[in-house]
Amino acid sequence: MTSAPSGSPLLSQLNETQAQAADHFTGPALVIAGAGSGKTRTLIYRIAHLTQHYGVHPGEILAVTFTNKAAAEMRERASHLVPGANELWMSTFHSAGVRILRAYGEHIGLRRGFVIYDDDDQSDLLKEIMGSIPGIGPDTTPRTLRGILDRAKSNLLTPDDLARSGDPYISGLPREVAAEMYRRYEARKRGQNAIDFGDLITETVRLFREVPGVLDKVQNRARFIHVDEYQDTNKAQYELTRLLASRDRNLLVVGDPDQSIYKFRGADIQNILDFQKDYPDAKVYMLEHNYRSSASVLKIANKLIENNTERLDKTLKPVKAEGAPVAFHRATDHRAEGDFVAGWITRLHGEGRPLTEMAVLYRTNAQSRVIEESLRRGGIAAKIVGGVGFYDRREIRDILAYARLAINPADDVALRRIIGRPRRGIGDTALEKLMGWAREHRTTLLEACARAVEDNIIDRGAQKPVEFAALMGAMSEAAENYEPAPFFRFVIETSGYLDLLRQEGQEGQVRMENLDELVNAAEEWSRENEGGVHDFLDDAALLSSVDDMRTKKENRDVPEEAVTLMTLHNAKGLEFPVVFIVGTEEGLLPSRGALTEGPGAIEEERRLFYVGITRAMERLFLTAAENRMQFGKTNAAEDSRFLEEIGGEFDTIDAYGQNVEYRAKSWKTYRPTVPAAGAGYSSPVKNTSPLTADMAYRGGEKVSHPKFGEGQVLAVSGLGERQEVTVHFPSAGTKKLLVKFANLSKA
């Protein structure tokens, strides 16, 4: 490795390996390292260094991150380091997809004005079609079907691929039925000139594959590509990245396999482990120092993650001193747990700790309510990231549906949502007739409304749909000519929605205020962005997804000075001086679902806990409840097995903050039904569980192979006869070998 250019003021703010990675100029590179080791920092400095030292134009640089929040943060940090930073392309995979499809989607048959369907729109559409698909019974939910679609798209599978897939059943449906559902869903969606979230990636991939000229153009805008959190990419995102990087090959990815937490959404940890296979000339940089957390926090993190069997062993040494010990508290119930957290926040705040420096993390959104209540009682402001967001509220969704239909007259889903809000005297029978006519004449529902009188589509009250169509015509015109904020004002008034809310009393009042907020949000948006109603809708659709940026709109009443509440998933990549992780119990962390799924799922939960722990910079509190209300019933809870794994490394404190002795509440009594043969639960007691006893090799171990020589085990998978190891041999590269035949020996 070359050493970093000395004297660079930028690189002097990095350690030696970080500086080498930041100085990486052309070709592929991988930064693989543990939490808080400065991966994101290195990525940003690399971008700055590219522009300042190597003269790369900011307009040729792309950086992809996982959430809008991370992208915004990156943009903010880059703005201080890179002249011309506003020309950098920094976005999530999804918003990159929107941008590319808006510009070039016509090449693959997307008509101008296409809209983006979110989860709820998807469900609406599925509800419409599922009744008519043979093989789908009444107990199948749209949610299940969405899951099937989501996974298929994450894996770049078409309906035909699904029909041919290896499993006879997909989420309980015969694969032919699942494939047929997928096929019909796609056809209907296309007919309505809409795309869904998965399409933002898969359609972009298709565009790049089918129209090389477009790929080439986009590549000019992305000569240097960066991906943060690469361990959580799925197949579709992987392929998108691969295609983008295929010409110039300037691809730098950073990630940490121990923080892969989106397997349930199709993320494939193999993408990062195989990077060197895909790019044999890749430079690899390993960072070994954690700059974020106190030594006592880091110790717990390291100790916990060592319990995962399928992992690449990495070193992570603290830079910071020991600091305050990590504290654990077991409360009598979930309310007492909330009060404990509120009590500590009050105390720390009283000692001068700003509320913005504290975060409460939980496994499921449902846990937030009790915590919120405790904080409210304690007079502590809190902002919640995620949960039921602003853009998920009924009245907001209604008005956005008007806007969508105004822009895209083919959006039947939007039309059906709003035609009865407010009531316009168009009943179900009339609607059925209109739909039938539209289907027959292969046109849109809105067209059917417009022709209701002329073509005698319904018997009585045919004037009503015609009026509705005229109203939508006026809105379409407004959408063309108005800025988003005045447009929404126009829609809210002319639609009759305001009158509807006036009749709803107190609740209507709250909803009206929310609509006010929508107008404010649109105004704010226009101050920060260029574009019209359409662009605003794109952004709103992206915000209401997986993401967390909606926080800002959702917490308008919350003062800036507030504690952050969010799920462990949403906390990825962030850091806070003080962190509380609540609900460290069996059935929550690890989750109930993971308990029945087996060892792979438990390992993912362990990684999630690892992510949570490593957010803490100075102080970490872990809490559990002895009794917890879930699904309306209060049950005795057991401590998380993960607590036993890190046992002895934390102080147990009582409600008054006094040290007490930790007495483990054994989780062993809580074991669910035994999973299928071959699987087992990793146990806190080393080498007694079927899994660990069975493992011939562990990540990080040195081995030797008769042909390839000495190497290091990167990952181990499978059990017994089918156990495979991924080994990196300095002389032969990375190989995946079946242990049974590999003739490996321990070096």
Q: Given candidates 20, 40, 276, 555, which one binds Mg ion under the rule CB under 5 A?
A: 40
DSSP one-letter code for 231: G
Q: Is 542 in the site for ligand ATP (CB under 6 A)?
A: no
Which has the closest alpha carbon to 165: 265, 177, 348, 650? 177
Q: Given candidates 40, 193, 374, 734, which one binds ligand ATP under the rule CB under 6 A?
A: 40
Contact status, residue 529 vs residue 538, Cβ threshold 8 Å: no
The residues, any chain, with a CB within 8 Å of residue 686's CB and separated by 6 or more, are 692
Nearest to ligand ATP of 18, 551 (CB atom): 18
Q: Is 39 in the site for ligand ATP (CB under 6 A)?
A: yes
Catalytic-residue membership of 40: yes
| Residue keyed to tokens 């969508």 | 404
Contact string (CB under 5 A) for Mg ion, positions 110-149, x = contact: ----------------------------------------
The residues, any chain, with a CB within 8 Å of residue 464's CB and separated by 6 or more, are 424, 425, 426, 430, 452
- CB atoms inside a 10 Å sphere around CB 621: 23
User: Is 596 part of any known ligand binding site?
Assistant: no
**∠ CA 75-81-84 to the nearest 5 degrees?**
70
Nearest to ligand ATP of 36, 142 (CB atom): 36
User: Is 137 part of any known ligand binding site?
Assistant: no
Measured CA to CA, the distance from residue 69 to residue 229 in angstroms comes to: 13
Backbone dihedral angles phi then psi of residue 493, each to the nearest 5 degrees? -80, -50
Minimum separation from the CB atom of position 314 to ligand ATP (A): 11
Measured CA to CA, the distance from residue 418 to residue 405 in angstroms comes to: 9
Minimum separation from the CB atom of position 325 to ligand ATP (A): 21
User: 615, 619, 628, 641: which one is catalytic?
Assistant: 615
Contact region with ligand ATP (CB under 6 A), list: 10-18, 90-98, 588-596, 600-608:
10-18
Q: Is 35 in the site for ligand ATP (CB under 6 A)?
A: yes
Nearest to ligand ATP of 202, 237 (CB atom): 237
- Residue 569 DSSP SS3: helix
Choose among Mg ion, ligand ATP, none what residue 35 binds, the Cβ cut-off being 5 to 8 Å by kind. ligand ATP
Q: Is 41 in the site for ligand ATP (CB under 6 A)?
A: yes
Catalytic-residue membership of 404: no
Catalytic-residue membership of 335: no
Contact status, residue 360 vs residue 621, Cβ threshold 8 Å: no
User: Is 350 part of any known ligand binding site?
Assistant: no
User: 18, 39, 383, 618: which one is catalytic?
Assistant: 39
User: 228, 232, 412, 644: which one is catalytic?
Assistant: 228
Nearest to ligand ATP of 14, 452 (CB atom): 14
- Residue 360 DSSP SS3: strand
Q: Give the pairing of strands 251-255 and 173-174.
A: unpaired
User: Is 40 part of any known ligand binding site?
Assistant: yes
Nearest to Mg ion of 287, 438 (CB atom): 287
Q: Given candidates 291, 482, 670, 729, which one binds ligand ATP under the rule CB under 6 A?
A: 291
Choose among Mg ion, ligand ATP, none what residue 14 binds, the Cβ cut-off being 5 to 8 Å by kind. ligand ATP
Q: Is 36 in the site for ligand ATP (CB under 6 A)?
A: yes
Measured CA to CA, the distance from residue 497 to residue 363 in angstroms comes to: 38
Nearest to Mg ion of 65, 374 (CB atom): 65
Q: Give the pairing of strands 702-705 and 745-746.
A: antiparallel
Q: Given candidates 22, 28, 32, 38, which one binds ligand ATP under the rule CB under 6 A?
A: 38
**∠ CA 529-535-541 to the nearest 5 degrees?**
110
Catalytic-residue membership of 641: no
Taking CB under 6 A as the criterion, which residues in 604-633 touch ligand ATP? 614
Measured CA to CA, the distance from residue 599 to residue 601 in angstroms comes to: 5
Nearest to ligand ATP of 411, 604 (CB atom): 604
Choose among Mg ion, ligand ATP, none what residue 694 binds, the Cβ cut-off being 5 to 8 Å by kind. none
**∠ CA 679-681-682 to the nearest 5 degrees?**
120
Q: Is 257 in the site for Mg ion (CB under 5 A)?
A: no
Amino acid occupying residue 22: A
Minimum separation from the CB atom of position 591 to ligand ATP (A): 21
- Cβ-defined contacts of 104-109 (< 8 Å, 24+): 104/207, 104/211, 104/214, 104/217, 104/218, 105/203, 105/207, 107/207, 107/210, 107/211, 107/214, 108/203, 108/206, 108/207, 108/210, 108/211, 109/190
- Residue 176 DSSP SS3: helix
Q: Is 67 in the site for Mg ion (CB under 5 A)?
A: no
Contact region with Mg ion (CB under 5 A), list: 38-46, 234-242, 338-346, 729-737:
38-46
Torsion from C-alpha of 56, 62, 65, 68, nearest 10 degrees: 110
DSSP one-letter code for 240: H
The separation between the first and the last C-alpha atoms of the chain, rounded to the nearest angstrom, is 26
User: Is 726 part of any known ligand binding site?
Assistant: no
Choose among Mg ion, ligand ATP, none what residue 251 binds, the Cβ cut-off being 5 to 8 Å by kind. none
Which has the closest alpha carbon to 408: 568, 223, 537, 562? 537
Minimum separation from the CB atom of position 31 to ligand ATP (A): 8
Any bridge partners for residue 234, and if so which? 267
Q: Given candidates 17, 18, 545, 683, which one binds ligand ATP under the rule CB under 6 A?
A: 18
Choose among ligand ATP, Mg ion, none what residue 38 binds, the Cβ cut-off being 5 to 8 Å by kind. ligand ATP
Minimum separation from the CB atom of position 351 to ligand ATP (A): 22
Nearest to ligand ATP of 122, 614 (CB atom): 614
User: Is 37 part of any known ligand binding site?
Assistant: yes
Backbone dihedral angles phi then psi of residue 283, each to the nearest 5 degrees? -85, 140
Nearest to ligand ATP of 38, 599 (CB atom): 38
Contact region with ligand ATP (CB under 6 A), list: 13-21, 131-139, 444-452, 714-722:
13-21
DSSP one-letter code for 111: P
User: Is 33 part of any known ligand binding site?
Assistant: yes
Amino acid occupying residue 577: P
User: 17, 20, 40, 309: which one is catalytic?
Assistant: 40
Nearest to ligand ATP of 44, 88 (CB atom): 44
Q: Is 494 in the site for ligand ATP (CB under 6 A)?
A: no
Taking CB under 6 A as the criterion, which residues in 249-268 touch ligand ATP? 256, 259
Number of residues near ligand ATP (by CB under 6 A) = 17
| Residue keyed to tokens 């926090």 | 297
Contact string (CB under 5 A) for Mg ion, positions 556-595, x = contact: -----------------x----------------------
Contact region with ligand ATP (CB under 6 A), list: 37-45, 165-173, 198-206, 702-710:
37-45
Which has the closest alpha carbon to 289: 18, 498, 506, 538? 18
Catalytic-residue membership of 615: yes
Which has the closest alpha carbon to 689: 675, 704, 679? 679
Measured CA to CA, the distance from residue 452 to residue 460 in angstroms comes to: 10
User: 192, 259, 367, 551: which one is catalytic?
Assistant: 259
Number of residue whose CB is nearest Mg ion: 40
Q: Is 37 in the site for ligand ATP (CB under 6 A)?
A: yes
Task: Compute the radius of gyration of the chain from its Cα atoms.
Answer: 27
Taking CB under 6 A as the criterion, which residues in 558-597 touch ligand ATP? 573, 575
- CB atoms inside a 10 Å sphere around CB 470: 12
Whether a cis peptide bond, with omega within 30° of 0, leads into 422 is yes
Distance of CA 650 to the CA centre of its chain: 31
Choose among Mg ion, ligand ATP, none what residue 599 binds, the Cβ cut-off being 5 to 8 Å by kind. none
**For residue 145, what are the CA distances in angstroms to 118, 616, 647?**
14, 38, 42
Measured CA to CA, the distance from residue 197 to residue 546 in angstroms comes to: 10
Minimum separation from the CB atom of position 275 to ligand ATP (A): 17
Catalytic-residue membership of 39: yes
Instruction: Pick out the residues of the known binding site for ATP.
Output: 33-40
Which residues of this protein are in contact with Mg ion, per CB under 5 A?
Answer: 39-40, 573
Binding site for ligand ATP (CB under 6 A): 14-15, 18, 35-41, 256, 259, 291-292, 573, 575, 614
Which residues fall in the annotated binding site?
Answer: 33-40
Known catalytic residues? Answer: 39-40, 228-229, 259, 615
